Amino acid sequence: MNCCLCDQALRFAPSWRGIFLYEPPELLCQPCRNEFLKIIGQGCKYCGKEGEAVCRDCHYWEEHGYRDLIHSGKSLYRYNGAMKDWFHQYKFLKDVLLAQVFAKDLREALANERALIVPIPLNAEKLSERSFSQVDELLLAAGIPYSHLLEKCGETLGEKTREERMATKQLFRLNGEAVPKQLVLVDDLYTTGTTMRQAAKILQEAGAESIRILTLIRA
């Protein structure tokens, strides 16, 4: 087996953990793994961005009609060069296997979660074109059960400027499933927070009381 990012042969160092507890085989070589930078310590209370207690983006939302909509949240990794490469290969080259690269991190973050886990969806057309939903695949790889409560409307944020993104009105609608009181919204990449705020708003209106968020990457 070779590293699934640089294609160098993987050198196996069998560990006691790997022998006694079932652990899926590592997909990355150590140098590639080391390129990814975890977000550590206390950052923004809503999105986990390193630095201030409330980041600039989240501050904007708090001041513009979305106060206390999100209870708290975090992100696991920084959006550095290696992460951009991974994201491109996963989402745009459609290399589904790469969902497994962060399986362990997501498992650690969500394994003991009692609230319902709700992935941010793709719209049906996009899903058929991409052939997989990148958030669902991340959760599947991590072995974390989830339920969809939302459907994506036509618009996508991809080609929008920062201002246009923040002014976008309706991105989601409910899919008709019952909305519980507590839930965790999961997405791949947190850029300005528009997606999460929109999703949270509609879920709150449908009866959710405590909404937390988790994203793999904070841009």
Partner 1 sequence: MQAIEAFLTGRIWIKQFIPFPEEVIQEATEKGSARVVSGISADGQCARCLETSPDYVIPFQCATCGEVCRYCRTCIKMGRISSCTELVLWTSPALPKSAPRAFGWVGSLTPQQETASKAISESIRKQEDHLLYAVCGAGKTEILFSPIHEALQKGLRICVAAPRTDVILELSPRFKQAFPDAVIHTLYGDSPEQTGYGEIILATTHQLYRFQEAFDLLFVDEADAFPYSLDPSLERAVKKAGKPSAPVIYISATPSKTLRKQIAGHSTIFRRYHGAPLPVPVYRAMWNYEHHLRKGKLPSPLKDWIEDKLQKKQPFLLFFPSIQLIELASPLLYKIDCAIAAVHSKDPQRKEKVMQLREGALAGLATSTILERGITIPHLQVAVIGADHRVFDRAALIQIAGRVGRNAKDPTGDVIFFHNGITRQMDAARQEILFYNKEGKA
User: Using CB under 5 A as the criterion, which residues of the chain lie in contact with Zn ion when the complex forms?
Assistant: 3, 5-6, 29, 32, 44, 46-47, 49, 55, 58
CB-nearer residue toward partner 1: 2 or 72: 2
Backbone angles phi, psi at 136, to 5 degrees: -55, -45
CB-nearer residue toward Zn ion: 6 or 167: 6
Q: Does 35 bind partner 1 (CB under 8 A)?
A: no
Q: Does 131 bind partner 1 (CB under 8 A)?
A: yes
Altogether, the residues listed in the chain come to a count of 219
Residue pair 78/217 in contact by the 8 Å Cβ criterion: yes
Q: How many CB atoms lie within 10 A of CB 208?
A: 23
Residue 96 partner contact from Zn ion, partner 1, none using kind-dependent CB cut-offs of 5 to 8 Å: partner 1
CB-nearer residue toward Zn ion: 34 or 170: 34
Of residues 76-95, which lie at the interface with partner 1 (CB under 8 A)? 89, 93-95
The mark string for 97-126 relative to partner 1 (x by CB under 8 A, - otherwise) is x-----------------------------
Rounded CA-CA distance 24/2 in Å is 15
Q: Does 133 bind partner 1 (CB under 8 A)?
A: yes
What token pair was written down for 197? 């705020």
Q: What SS3 state is found at 111?
A: coil
Rounded CA-CA distance 5/65 in Å is 42
CB-nearer residue toward Zn ion: 10 or 117: 10
Backbone angles phi, psi at 124, to 5 degrees: -60, -40
User: 51: Cβ–Cβ under 8 A, 6 or more apart, which residues?
Assistant: 43, 44
Of residues 160-199, which lie at the interface with partner 1 (CB under 8 A)? none
Which one among 3, 4, 110, 138 touches partner 1, defined by CB under 8 A? 4
Rounded CA-CA distance 180/147 in Å is 11
In the complex, which residues of this chain contact partner 1 (CB under 8 A)? Answer: 1-2, 4, 89, 93-97, 127-133
